[in-house]
Structure 1
Amino acid sequence: MKVDFIRNLENSLNAKDLEFIRKNFRNEENQNIPKQFSKIINDFPKSKWKIKRLKSNLPDEEILRIKVFGEKIVNGEIYILESKFDYLFSIVNEKIDEGIIKNLFTTIRNDNKKIDISFNIPDRVLTGSKYDIDIILNKPLEEVIIAGAIKPHQVNSLFEQEILLEPLASGGIFKITRAPLKPGIQIWSGIIAHPEGMITFTKSIDIVDKI
C-alpha cells in the first residue's frame, strides 16, 4: 500500500470528502465504512483524523491505526469526541476489501475532563470465558445518585447512545459477563451521568480461541 493512499485517505476525511472513500472501497465496504465515517463527520463536523500504518504479521493484510478527535457545542455545552481504532483490510484490484474494525475505544463527554474515571475493559478474551467490565469513578460522590448503564450492541456501529439510565449504587459500573462461544468481536456501549457532566463510551473486545 502506498504512502500516498494513507495521506489521501486522511486528507479526504479531514476535508469531509467521502467520494475518495467510495472510489477506493469495494463491494459492501463501499457502503458500510463510509456510512460509519460519515456519521462521525455529521455528528462532529470539525473532527480531525490521524492515520498511521501498522505492521501486520499476515502477508496480505494491511492495518491502519485511526484516531479521531472532535468537538461540538449543544445547548451551550461542549461535547468532546475521542476515538481510536485499528482498521484491518486487504487490497484487491487496488481497492480496499474485507475490512474490519478492531481495538475500538470511543468516548464522548461534556464534563471538561472533570470526572476522574477509569475504564477497565479487556482488549481480548477467550471464547466462552467469563470476564469483568469495570467502569470506576475514582472519586465517588457521597449522597449523590450517579446514573449509568452498559449494554452490548451490533458490530457495524462505531458508537451508540440509545441506552436506558439506571441509578448506580456504587462508584461506577461493575459487570461480569461471558464471551460468545465463537471467535469474533463483541462491542459494549455505556453511559455515565454525573453532576459534572455526561460520558458515553464504546469499546470493542476481540473474542479469540487462543491467547
Structure 2
Amino acid sequence: MLTGGSVAQAQTESSNAPPPEVATTVAQIDAAANQRNLDGVMQFFGRNFVHADGLTRSRYEDALQDLWERYPVLTYQTEINTWQQEGAAIVYETTTTITGTQVINGQDFALNSTMRSRQRLENGRIVRQETLSEQSRVTTGENPPTVDMQLPEQVMIGRSFNFDAIVQEPLGTRLLLGSAIEEPINTNQYFTAAPVDLELLSAGGLFKVGRAPALPDSRWISAVIIREDGITLETRRLRVVGRE
C-alpha cells in the first residue's frame, strides 16, 4: 500500500518507461559508482536522507567507502523495475547487481551480489531507501562449493523458519566445515564482522531451524561452507514482519 496519499491519487506506471528524472538518476549513480566517484554518487542523496536499516546520509557514505576499500574492483548494474508518481515525489524500485574482487593474503575473493530496493525521489534527490531483498555470495579457491541456499524472504514475528545451505557436489570422502550466522541489521553491523564457529558437516550442508524475534526487523542469515578446494559464503536478508 502507498503512504502519503490515497490509492486513488497515486499513479502506478509499472509497465511504462520510467520518467527521465528516474532513468537519469539511476544511470548516473551507476556510472559514478563504477568510477568509484563517491562525491558523484552522494550528490544524488538528499541531506536528510534516511535508510530503513537506520543509516543516515553520513553513515551510508561511510558504508559505501568501506565497501570500496575492501573491494578495489567493483561493477554496478541497475535496472528499474517499477515506479509510481506520489504527489511531487516518485517512488521507484530497482534491482542492482554488484560484482567484484578483492585480494587477501595473496588469495582472490569474488563477490556477486543482487539487491532489490525501493527509493523515494524528491526534487532530484533520493530522500529514503529501503532494501526489499538481498543476496550476496563470496567465493575463493580453485573450486568453491556450489551452495543452494533455501531461506524465505520474510517470516512473521515469533515464527520458526527453516534455513538450509545444501552443497550440490557429492560429498564423497571429502570433509566439509561450515557455520550458520544470524546477525541483526543495524548501523553497527555494516562495519563489524560476526564471529564464525565452524562445525564438521556430515550431511552435505547446513540444516537449521531458526526463530524470528518478537519485534519486526531485518536479519542477515549467512552460511559459510569450507572444503579443501574452496570456500563459499552466502548471505541472504530475512525480513521479520508483524502480524496483520
Q: Which residue of 2 aligns with 1:14?
A: 34
Question: What SS is found at the alignment partner of 2:58?
Answer: helix
Query: CA contact under 8 A between 1:55 and 1:62: conserved in structure 2?
Result: yes
Counterpart code for 1:169: S
Provide the C-alpha distance between the structure 2 equivalents of 1:87 and 1:35, rounded to a whole number of angstroms: 19
Q: Which residue of 1 aligns with 2:62?
A: 35
- TM-score for both structures, normalised by structure 2: 0.76
CA displacement 1:54-88 (0-9 Å, x = unmatched): 21578453222111001233344321100011222
Q: Which residue of 2 aligns with 1:52?
A: 79
Question: What SS is found at the alignment partner of 1:3?
Answer: helix
Provide the C-alpha distance between the structure 1 equivalents of 2:107 and 2:121, rounded to a whole number of angstroms: 42
Provide the C-alpha distance between the structure 1 equivalents of 2:84 and 2:22, rounded to a whole number of angstroms: 18
Counterpart code for 1:98: R
Aligned length: 211
Question: What SS is found at the alignment partner of 2:208?
Answer: strand
Greater Rg over alpha carbons, structure? 2
Over the aligned positions, Cα root-mean-square deviation in angstroms equals 2.6
Counterpart code for 2:41: I
Q: CA deviation at 1:114?
A: 4.6
Provide the C-alpha distance between the structure 2 equivalents of 1:104 and 1:149, rounded to a whole number of angstroms: 20
Q: Which residue of 1 aligns with 2:241?
A: 208
Q: CA deviation at 1:143?
A: 4.2
Q: Which residue of 2 aligns with 1:78?
A: 108
Q: Which residue of 2 aligns with 1:178?
A: 211
Provide the C-alpha distance between the structure 2 equivalents of 1:89 and 1:2, rounded to a whole number of angstroms: 10
Q: Which residue of 2 aligns with 1:63?
A: 93
Query: CA contact under 8 A between 1:123 and 1:205: conserved in structure 2?
Result: yes
Counterpart code for 1:117: V
Provide the C-alpha distance between the structure 1 equivalents of 2:145 and 2:203, rounded to a whole number of angstroms: 15
CA displacement 1:165-208 (0-9 Å, x = unmatched): 22223211111011223333222123111111111122101223
Query: CA contact under 8 A between 2:140 and 2:230: conserved in structure 1?
Result: yes
Of 85, 94, 102 in structure 1, the residue corresponding to residue 124 of structure 2 is 94
Stretches of structure 2 that go unaligned for 5 or more consecutive residues are: 1-20, 51-55
Counterpart code for 1:167: L
Query: CA contact under 8 A between 1:21 and 1:34: conserved in structure 2?
Result: no
Stretches of structure 1 that go unaligned for 5 or more consecutive residues are: none
Query: CA contact under 8 A between 2:119 and 2:130: conserved in structure 1?
Result: yes
Question: What SS is found at the alignment partner of 1:181?
Answer: coil
- TM-score for both structures, normalised by structure 1: 0.86
